[in-house]
Structure 1
Amino acid sequence: MNDELGAPAPLSADGGIDRPTPCPSLYQINTRVWLTKLSVSLGRPATLDDVPDTELDHIAGAGFDWIWLLSVWSTGLAGQHISRTDQAWRREFEETLPDLREEDIAGSGFAITGYTVHPGLGGKVALARLRDRLRQRGLQLMLDFVPNHTALDHPWIEDHPEYYVSGTELDLARAPQNYIWVKGSRGDRLLAHGRDPYFSGWPDTLQLNYGNPATQEAMIGELLTIAEQCDGVRCDMAMLVLPDVFARTWGLPAPAFWPAAIMRIRERVPRFRFMAEVYWDLEWTMLQQGFDYAYDKRLYDRLRAGQARPVREHLQAGPDDQKKLARFLENHDEPRAAATLATGMHEAAAVITYLSPGLRFFHQGQFEGCKKRISPHLVRAPIEPQNEALKHFYCELLAVLRQPTVRNGEWRLLSCTPAWESNWTWDSCIASCWEGSNGQRILVAVNYAAHQSQCYVRLPWDDLAGGTVRLRDLIGSASYDREGNALISRGLYLDLPPWGRHVFKVSWTIE
């Protein structure tokens, strides 16, 4: 592999990745959409075995540590039927694909009938072979775990109906959208749809009862099955099975699930990683449950709001805590960044997001500027033009993220001060720095506003005294020489255009 792109991480004796990176990068891929596109070029249905080595080489060469393959598990005909007949969903699908066909709607990848790879993707053996190819390139594999619910036609509905939340005729009368009669050989049962406490039930799912210890044990068994097939899981809506959230939703007491489940998996696979999809300001709660990473939805929301101060305040948390947050600008649930963030704002938000400590979480299509969100019910993506300028920006940003300094170094938030008395625009500036073990330094500065801003950035490096400092922008062409004593005494003066950003490599010579 080209040295400029970096070498894959070394494998340990048991096949895990040695010396895990404190700030790794993850690339989310919609597996079914990926293979549908590949099927067109092959002229036949593609499986995981057909993913080209060159594509894996490209992902590894771009600096990624993890691939998250969305929607690889088995789904059933019941979920597919709901997806194809639900009129609200279908209108969404038609907005994504004006030429929508029935075969484009496979059913939600989160209405799971079992944690075995869908036969149409090549089954368990194809996933094992793909995982081996990923490991040869230093890439780790993340898959889905859906703790809250199963598909309507999961085998447990017949074999273990006690695993589910049941309802009464009164429940059905009060909230008919949240319950469904399910036929079985031992009679019909009224069961609840999976849901969160703020929305109606998902009609293609059934709610698991975490108040039943047998349900929890069965779900730990599912996690053990998954842990044999990958290196980590992204846990869908992980906060829904917290005891207080579950009780608030269903009025049922439930013991804690995550601490025991995570401990059991790590007894079997010590390096296995857990990432929580989490909302409602419960990120720290999930980390205390034992998760390695939690979605940083707060940062995402504050960036979308376009106000610098709340973003800066969010970044004041300790660096060690921030390293446990998954930073993203889009994913399969959120709107596309290119559709919601204006040009300039998008790039500024990306610099803040991905040059902060934590797991750097990117989504398939983000680099190319795709604007249409693809529902996890669909297996085909629309053809969209590529945004070449945005693609070039991300190419430069990924090159920065491959540098050891921002993968393994120490990060700190820096102070910005007014450039002159009554200059209020400094409050729109956000600055930080990275320092590597080899002494390399990178300075990040962003004007997160739609107006021009000026400030002084206080630098933490007293050893710049008596020298000449060169600042070379790694995501632009700017290069400046500054006198070290002035930088220490006053700071670095910046005059940034709307949404302006710099990622400076800092070097100096002592005279």
Structure 2
Amino acid sequence: MSDQPPRRPTPTRWASARHPFIYEINTWPWVTGLSASAGTPVDLSTVPDEHWDAIADFGFDAVWLMGVWQRSPAGAAVALANRDLVAECLAALPDWTPQDVVGSPFCIRNYEVDEYLGGRAGLAAARSALAGRGLALILDFVPNHVAPDHPWTSKHPEYFVSGTSAELVADPESFMDVNGTVLANGRDPNFPAWSDVLQLNAFSRGLRHEIADTLRDVASQCDGVRCDMAMLVMNDVFARTWGDRVGDPPEGEYWPEAIDAVRQDHPDFRFIAESYWDREWPLQQQGFDFCYDKGLYDRLVTGDAAAVRDHLRADADFQSRLLRFVENHDESRAAAILDPARQEAVTLATLTQTGARLVHHGQLTGARVRLPVFLGRHPREDIDHELASFHRALLKALCDSTFRAGTWMLCETVELVSWCWDGDHRWLIVVNLSAEHVADHVRVPWNDVTDGVHRLVDPITGVEWVRSGREVRDGLYVELGPWQWHLFKVARTDPHP
């Protein structure tokens, strides 16, 4: 982040924020960068106050510290032996050394905070610093797999999906010998196995009890978890992936059991699912507060206005439990794949939706390098000051409580895409998601619009319109050039012009 952020809004209590804003930090390289800047080692207990202040001042409600758990030396060794991963590291960090490969945050050796980051006490200090600024703390949970040197591999091999010696010989990329037992590597059914992790058996009753205990301990240290590839441990998905190898599904689903166990002691704890394959609704039904909305991301990035409109016609309650993003650690940097005008339009369209909104560290200043998760150091990148200025102005406008506690509604359009918010204030957002000049009428769903003067002001561009109640009711005429947009704050109706 750079320059002066907007004034911090009144902190919003995480448990009651209907539409929160979340800031994702790749913790290990972030702390490494802070140490380099300070000229002395920094961990989570010694992060300078100005960094927490900057995040709070931009109006975020929660910080996701991605990758705080102990990483696996065994997993790092597997990564270093993989030529494709080494090439990816070299492309992202040309001056990399093997010491920069610290292991994947999703190849977890143990659910204990890594000592490099300050251990459990360091995390507690960070949580306290965030809470003092009205911010919640989110951490990771990885249900599908663990590192080859996780304690469970020796103490409870029955928690894992097993293989045979013959399978190990025939397919060494999908199986691993651990202490004389052949175990399957973790996998997504649509891709080759992940060679650095071992597959947990989601149908194991013993594992499910262990997971509940693990999650209860995690929940004592934070306010929510982002659950990696959450759909992989749903009964039907897991059975289809592993077949007869894991037997019949148990009666209960994995997630309701785990979530209920945590909420007995932490009723306000929130669960976020990384989810794909149209599994968002079933995962919401199983207890998740928010699920990734990859569908909206894909439609916005491709610039398909009709597909975006159709996507946003989904039930409003369903949409209010989706998590919208322009970037995260798995996706390409927005600045690397979108030109500046498109990036502004896509960012505005994303961050003004209903549901949770996610911003990735580096996104606000135009970072272009997507760092492989194995690396513990960011490359040095120049700040895009024009883009940073846009983000500052946008986040300042979005500090309005309406975007956290108000009601979102889709507007009727033909070519443009538009939606509005109703709360402490009224807002109207109109976006041209195309490379063509577009003219359209925008019909808002406000049923209480009466005659009188309506003033529409865009706090970012300074554009101001004065329209009659009849014009608002009948449909506002809007012309926008390629990738242009309006973020209008609409004055309450004045019946006496």
Normalised TM-score (structure 2) = 0.95
Paired residue for 2:428?
443
Distance change in 2, residues 1:4/1:41 (3 Å): closer
Distance change in 2, residues 1:42/1:466 (3 Å): closer
Secondary structure of the corresponding residue to residue 5 of structure 1: coil
Write the distance in 1 (CA, Å) between the matches of 2:329 and 2:441. Answer: 39
1:321 aligns with 2:352: no
Paired residue for 1:254?
249
Write the distance in 2 (CA, Å) between the matches of 1:212 and 1:391. Answer: 48
Q: 1:123-272 counterparts in 2 under 5 A? A: 123-182=119-178, 184=179, 188-251=180-243, 252=246, 253-255=248-250, 256-272=253-269
Secondary structure of the corresponding residue to residue 48 of structure 1: coil
Letter of the structure 2 residue corresponding to residue 177 of structure 1: E
- Is the contact made by 2:35 and 2:41 (CA closer than 8 Å) also made in structure 1? yes
- Is the contact made by 2:6 and 2:396 (CA closer than 8 Å) also made in structure 1? no
Q: Which runs of 5+ in 1 are unaligned?
A: 11-16, 417-425
The CA deviation at 1:459 is: 2.7
Write the distance in 2 (CA, Å) between the matches of 1:155 and 1:32. Answer: 23
Write the distance in 2 (CA, Å) between the matches of 1:194 and 1:463. Answer: 55
1:477 aligns with 2:462: yes
- Is the contact made by 1:276 and 1:291 (CA closer than 8 Å) also made in structure 2? yes
Of 43, 48, 57, which residue of structure 2 is paired with 1:52?
Answer: 48
- Report the aligned-residue RMSD: 1.6
Of 292, 296, 303, which residue of structure 2 is paired with 1:295?
Answer: 292
Paired residue for 1:119?
115
1:433 aligns with 2:436: no
Letter of the structure 2 residue corresponding to residue 176 of structure 1: P
Normalised TM-score (structure 1) = 0.92
Letter of the structure 2 residue corresponding to residue 180 of structure 1: M
Paired residue for 1:423?
none
1:5 aligns with 2:1: no
Q: CA offsets per residue over residues 238-286 of structure 1, 9 Å max, x none?
A: 1111111111111123332101110010001111110000111111111
Paired residue for 2:20?
24
Write the distance in 2 (CA, Å) between the matches of 1:147 and 1:454. Answer: 48
- Is the contact made by 1:83 and 1:204 (CA closer than 8 Å) also made in structure 2? yes
1:384 aligns with 2:381: yes
The CA deviation at 1:384 is: 1.1
The CA deviation at 1:222 is: 1.1
Matched residues, number: 486
1:34 aligns with 2:26: no
Of 399, 409, 429, which residue of structure 2 is paired with 1:402?
Answer: 399
The CA deviation at 1:491 is: 1.3
Paired residue for 1:420?
none
Identity within the alignment, % = 44
The CA deviation at 1:195 is: 0.8
* More contact order relative to length (CA 8 Å, sep ≥ 6): 2
Of the structure 1 ranges 272-281 and 388-397, higher mean CA displacement relative to structure 2 is found in 388-397
Q: CA offsets per residue over residues 361-406 of structure 1, 9 Å max, x none?
A: 1100001111110111111111111111211111111112210112
- Is the contact made by 2:6 and 2:58 (CA closer than 8 Å) also made in structure 1? no
Q: CA offsets per residue over residues 58-80 of structure 1, 9 Å max, x none?
A: 11111111100011001222112
Q: CA offsets per residue over residues 297-333 of structure 1, 9 Å max, x none?
A: 1111111221101111111112221110000011001
Of 101, 106, 115, which residue of structure 2 is paired with 1:105?
Answer: 101
- Is the contact made by 1:447 and 1:453 (CA closer than 8 Å) also made in structure 2? yes
Of the structure 1 ranges 212-221 and 66-75, higher mean CA displacement relative to structure 2 is found in 212-221
Write the distance in 1 (CA, Å) between the matches of 2:172 and 2:77. Answer: 19
Write the distance in 1 (CA, Å) between the matches of 2:72 and 2:215. Answer: 20
Distance change in 2, residues 1:215/1:464 (3 Å): closer
Secondary structure of the corresponding residue to residue 49 of structure 1: coil
Q: Which runs of 5+ in 2 are unaligned?
A: none
- Is the contact made by 2:6 and 2:57 (CA closer than 8 Å) also made in structure 1? no
Of the structure 1 ranges 22-31 and 391-400, higher mean CA displacement relative to structure 2 is found in 391-400
Q: 1:345-360 counterparts in 2 under 5 A? A: 345-360=342-357
Distance change in 2, residues 1:126/1:406 (3 Å): same
Letter of the structure 1 residue corresponding to residue 397 of structure 2: V
- Is the contact made by 1:82 and 1:107 (CA closer than 8 Å) also made in structure 2? no
Write the distance in 2 (CA, Å) between the matches of 1:228 and 1:240. Answer: 25
Write the distance in 2 (CA, Å) between the matches of 1:61 and 1:449. Answer: 33
- Is the contact made by 1:84 and 1:107 (CA closer than 8 Å) also made in structure 2? no
Write the distance in 1 (CA, Å) between the matches of 2:199 and 2:367. Answer: 34
Distance change in 2, residues 1:460/1:156 (3 Å): closer
Letter of the structure 1 residue corresponding to residue 202 of structure 2: Y
Paired residue for 2:71?
75
Secondary structure of the corresponding residue to residue 218 of structure 1: helix
- Is the contact made by 2:7 and 2:58 (CA closer than 8 Å) also made in structure 1? no
Of the structure 1 ranges 473-482 and 460-469, higher mean CA displacement relative to structure 2 is found in 460-469
1:340 aligns with 2:332: no
- Is the contact made by 2:6 and 2:392 (CA closer than 8 Å) also made in structure 1? no
